[in-house]
Structures are given as C-alpha cells and as structure tokens.
C-alpha cells in the first residue's frame, strides 16, 4: 500500500539503483586511495576528542561572517549588553541593602539549571556573581541565535560550543566563587578537598586503565536476574528465552530487540525495575536479543548483518521452537529502527510472521534527530569514520563523551563539584550501572547507520536497500505501538511521532514522562509518572503532534499496563504454558559479560 506522494515499488527500485550509483555508503571502498587521509584524521582525533576541527571551523565561520554582515543584529546585541550591565548594577545596589528573599534577580535560571538553588547564593556577593553569569549566558544565547543567513545546524553547533565554554567557567565550579563549597570546607576543615583530590586521582587511574568510574552492578546477580535460557547463539547475538510464570500464557510470543549501543538489560534491571519480569508475570513468553560487544574482528559487520543475524535469526528460532505462526516484536532505540527496517523488508517479501510492532523511543525519520545532530554532518561523520577505520570500531568512551556533553552541566560539572569539591559519595543505581556498561560499534555498521539514516534519511525516503531492493515503511500493515518520552534528547518524541505519518498501519502512540531511558524504565507504583495515549486508524486524517498533545488526556501512572493491555490484545488467547526449556545455558548469557 502506498501513501500519496510515495513512489511505486518499481519506481523505488529504479530510483534506489540510480541513487546507489552516486553515493558511497561504506567508506572501505575509498580506503585504497585515502589511507593517508584517514590515518591523519584518526591521529588528530586523539587530541580533539574525535570532534572534527573542520566542522567547528565551518560553523564558526558561518556564524561570525553573517554576524559581521548584520549591523542591526550587532546594534541589538550592543543595546542588550548595555541594558544587562545596567540591570546588574541596579541589582547589586539593591542587593547590598535588601534581605536575600526580598530582591529578585534580573534573570532567573532555566528550570533544569540547579547550580544556584542553594539559599547561600541569595547572599551578597554570591547573588551578584550568579546574576552576572546568568546575564552573560543570556547574552551569548542571543548572540549565537537568530543571525540572518546562518544555517540552523551551524547556529546550533556554535550555541552548543558556547554553552560548553560558559558551563566550564560558571562560578559554581570553583572554591573561590561557590559559597556552598566554602561553607562545607569550613565545616570539615578542608577534608572535603583532600578527599576530592583522592577521588580525582582514583578516577584518573580508572580512566587510564579503561575501568568504569564506579564498579558496576553485576549482570546475573544484582541486575538481569530474571530466570531464562539461551536458545540461540551466533557470531553477533544470543537469544534469551523467558518463560511465563502464570498458570496460563498467551499463544503469541514476544521478541524484544534492544539497541546494540548498550547492553540488553536496560529492560531487565533489578527485579522491581525489570520490564521483562513484568511481562512474564502477565503471561507473555518473552525472547530478548543480547548483542555481542564487537571488537576489531567484527569491523566489517554491517547494518544488514544486524538485521539477518539478529532479528531474522531470532524470528526463525522462535517460530521453530514454539510453533507459533506469528510473533509480536518490540524494538528499543536503535533496535526499534532496525525492527522497522526488518518489518518493511518482510512486508515487501510477503513475510507475515509479525503480529504487531512496538517501537520504544525509536525513530524512523531522521530529519529531526534531536541534539545528537550536533555531532552529525558530512565533516563530522567523515572524521569519525577515520577513527573507526583505524581501530575497527567506535569506542565506548567516545560515545559516552558525546552523550555527556549533551548534558554537561549535570553529567560533568555538577558531578565534579559534588564528587571532588563537596565529597558527596556517588550513589550507584541499576540504571546508572547499565548506563556505564556500554558496547562498541563496528566500523561498517556505524558508518552505514550514520550515512544512510542520519545524513541521507534513506528509510523514510524509501531508498534503503535490503537484499538488493529498497524497502518502504508504508508497506508495513501490522499494528504499531510507538512510545515517545517527553524530555528525550536522543529520539525527540515529535520525531518518534512521525511513524504515524510514514506508515499505513494502525498506530497507537503513547507519550510518557521522563527521558530516553528513565521514561522507558517506568514500573507501576513509581510516583510522578504520567502518560498520554491515542490510537489512529490507517485512514484517519493526520493530527499534528502539538494538537495531539493538547487534545489527548493525561493519565497518571506507569505506561507499562497500558502497553501490556494492547500487547495482550495481539498476543492470542490464554492457554496452558509450554514446557520450559530444559538444560542449556542460563540467562543472562555470555555476550552481556563481555567488556
């Protein structure tokens, strides 16, 4: 079935073949003539944190040259600077005479900025220092945005870099300008700083030796403890089976495809936080793919290898083992994108084994990929390819650094203040432990992923080739359940919402509170959880995301029961449970333990 404006199958195949002839998805073809270029770029990347200096230079040149050609913008910034300075001086004069609670500053921190919430910042001269910083931050935001002629991507990059520089010199980061640190130092006679030096030395040693900053919770003991068996293993994936624990079970099993950027047990954390444990307690037979942590030997594994050796191999094994003709499938993050690719290819080839699709914080259109787009343009991808070419994979620390920069205020500077200056012990949670347990990404796969999906948006444009032929999302007929999270900076919910625009299936879209990870890990009983949910028929008129959010009622509580009710509707009748798997290796398996 084709949406208006989508090419026919024959047109897609013809256009994709022509397009393939003019694009190079996999850079290995050019290595023979560019080995010196790649080696130089890889060497430079060691000193730049694998960020392309050319990409930064282009962004700065675009912004600065257009600002130079914008006298009205310059006048606006000059006027704002004078106004801000005058407001600050007025505030300082009033702050000397007023009590702390009687004088509001000229600018308030953003809601997520917790650096100056302590009452100590309300006293002179700390209130003057914090207001000076916030006013400067506000001025630079004006300076790097709304400059006529600057591309939005370059404006975002300049704004991002400026924010990093400002966050690094915030008065909250230094003993001399942070009253909270000074008070703690006086109370503890300086021992907080002594302990901080020891913490810093220990973290530096761990980083140099490749260890995590905190010992992680061990899969199979504290996390990933739901009983299960390994029923399949190949060079890229293990398939874990979790049997229901209820007197009756649904006839249609569920396959979960996690992202391969992290370990699978984000969905099987500690028992109270485990989605897998919740599902088996509701009568579902659950299968989960556990991806291998690739190294140099897996450098040539591509995106299609993940589809074949992961999803397709798992479906074959599940159907063969259970005898069920159809399987429900759920994909998380990158796993959801890969599941959409597999589903489109199966629909094209008349493979009807998928009873339904669930996409958790997963994008199928990458025109609005969120803050990760700051690190993704032709210059940056080419530079990153050089690093991956030299070592055969993208290292976990390189990925972690990018994610930390997106929230540097919380994950870098505030952590350093707490850990090194205030000597606040770090608390290890199951989600934090999982977050530190990253995996590498093979050179070929990650290059294809960045180019085909992020840069060229092939999946949404029906140009992505699978088995030599293009796939198109409108071919998917299985009902879809898509989950977006309100504060997701990796897969923004408005981007996730586009699955309803790009497919001809029935789509139930659910928007839940929280971010990319914490929003998905939302067991029943946790306070502060809420969601919105609505179902759109295949022939229903399009509703834009703003209107959808405004008109869809908010429901308090976890979204898990709502999804499980939808899943049960597509999981067949309840019957006597199948015989459990006898013998064999127990979950969590071998691959999840690979560092």
Which residues are known to be catalytic? 333
Cβ neighbours, 10 Å, residue 426: 11
Q: What is the DSSP letter of 262?
A: B
Contact 501, 528 (CB under 8 A): no
Question: Does residue 484 sit in helix, strand or coil?
Answer: strand
Q: For residues 456 and 460, give the distance between their C-alpha atoms in angstroms, rounded to a whole number.
A: 9
Give the integer Cα–Cα distance in Å for 595 and 591.
9
Helix axis angle, 378-391 relative to 31-48, nearest 10°? Answer: 100
Residues 458 and 468: their CA atoms lie apart, in Å, by 14
Alpha carbons 445 and 22: distance in angstroms, whole number: 20
DSSP assignment letter at 455: I
Cα distances (Å, whole numbers) of residue 182 to 121, 126, 414, 421: 12, 12, 16, 9
DSSP β-ladder status, 354-360 and 480-485: parallel
- Measured CA to CA, the distance from residue 476 to residue 341 in angstroms comes to 10
User: Are 298 and 304 within 8 A, CB to CB?
Assistant: no
- Stretch (H or E) spanning 20: helix 9-20
- CA dist 110 to 80, 113, 114, 350, 593, Å? 19, 5, 8, 51, 40
């Amino acid at each position: 079935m084709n949406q208006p404006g989508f090419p026919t199958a024959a047109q897609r195949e013809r256009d994709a073949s022509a397009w393939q002839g003019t694009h190079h998805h996999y850079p290995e073809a050019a290595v023979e003539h560019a080995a010196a270029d790649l080696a130089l770029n890889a060497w430079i990347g060691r000193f730049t944190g694998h960020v392309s200096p050319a990409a930064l230079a282009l962004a700065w040149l675009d912004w600065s040259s257009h600002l130079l050609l914008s006298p009205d913008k310059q006048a606006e910034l000059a006027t704002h600077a004078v106004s801000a300075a005058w407001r600050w001086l007025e505030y300082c004069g009033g702050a000397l005479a007023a009590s702390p609670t009687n004088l509001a500053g000229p600018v308030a921190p953003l809601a997520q900025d917790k650096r100056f919430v302590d009452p100590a910042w309300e006293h002179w001269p700390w209130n003057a220092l914090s207001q000076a910083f916030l006013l400067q931050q506000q001025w630079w935001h004006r300076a790097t945005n709304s400059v006529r002629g600057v591309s939005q991507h370059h404006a975002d990059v300049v704004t991002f870099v400026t924010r990093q520089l400002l966050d690094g010199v915030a008065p909250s980061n230094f003993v001399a300008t942070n009253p909270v640190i000074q008070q703690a130092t006086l109370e503890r006679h300086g021992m907080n700083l002594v302990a901080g030096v020891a913490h810093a030395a220990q973290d530096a040693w761990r980083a140099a030796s490749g260890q995590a900053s905190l010992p992680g919770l061990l899969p199979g003991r504290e996390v990933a403890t739901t009983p299960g068996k390994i029923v399949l293993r190949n060079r890229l994936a293990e398939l874990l089976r979790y049997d229901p624990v209820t007197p009756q079970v649904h006839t249609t099993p569920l396959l979960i495809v996690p992202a391969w950027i992290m370990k699978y047990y984000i969905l099987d954390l500690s028992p109270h936080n485990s989605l897998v444990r919740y599902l088996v307690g509701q009568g579902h037979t659950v299968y989960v793919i556990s991806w291998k942590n690739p190294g140099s030997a897996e450098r040539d594994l591509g995106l299609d290898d993940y589809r074949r050796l992961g999803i397709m191999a798992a479906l074959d094994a599940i159907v063969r083992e259970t005898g069920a003709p159809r399987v429900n499938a759920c994909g998380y993050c990158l796993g959801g994108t890969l599941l959409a690719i597999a589903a489109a290819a199966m629909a094209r080839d008349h493979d009807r084994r998928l009873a339904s699709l669930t996409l958790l914080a997963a994008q199928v259109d990458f025109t609005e990929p969120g803050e990760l787009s700051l690190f993704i343009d032709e210059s940056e991808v080419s530079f990153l390819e050089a690093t991956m070419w030299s070592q055969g994979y993208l290292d976990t620390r390189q990925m972690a650094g990018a994610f930390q920069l997106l929230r540097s205020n919380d994950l870098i500077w505030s952590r350093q203040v707490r850990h090194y200056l205030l000597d606040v012990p770090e608390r290890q949670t199951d989600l934090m432990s999982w977050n530190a347990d990253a995996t590498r990404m093979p050179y070929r796969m990650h290059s294809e992923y960045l180019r085909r999906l992020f840069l060229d948006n092939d999946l949404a444009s029906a140009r992505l080739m699978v088995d030599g032929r293009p796939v198109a999302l409108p071919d998917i007929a299985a009902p879809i359940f898509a989950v977006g999270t309100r504060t997701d900076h990796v897969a923004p919910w408005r981007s996730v919402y586009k699955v309803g625009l790009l497919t001809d299936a029935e789509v139930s879209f659910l928007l839940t509170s929280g971010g990319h990870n914490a929003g998905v890990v939302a067991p029943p009983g946790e306070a502060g959880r809420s969601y919105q949910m609505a179902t759109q028929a295949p022939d229903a008129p399009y509703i834009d995301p703003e209107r959808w959010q405004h008109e869809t009622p908010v429901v308090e509580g976890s979204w898990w029961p709502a999804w499980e009710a939808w899943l049960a509707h597509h999981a067949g009748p309840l019957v006597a449970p199948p015989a459990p798997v006898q013998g064999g290796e127990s979950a969590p398996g071998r691959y999840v333990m690979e560092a």
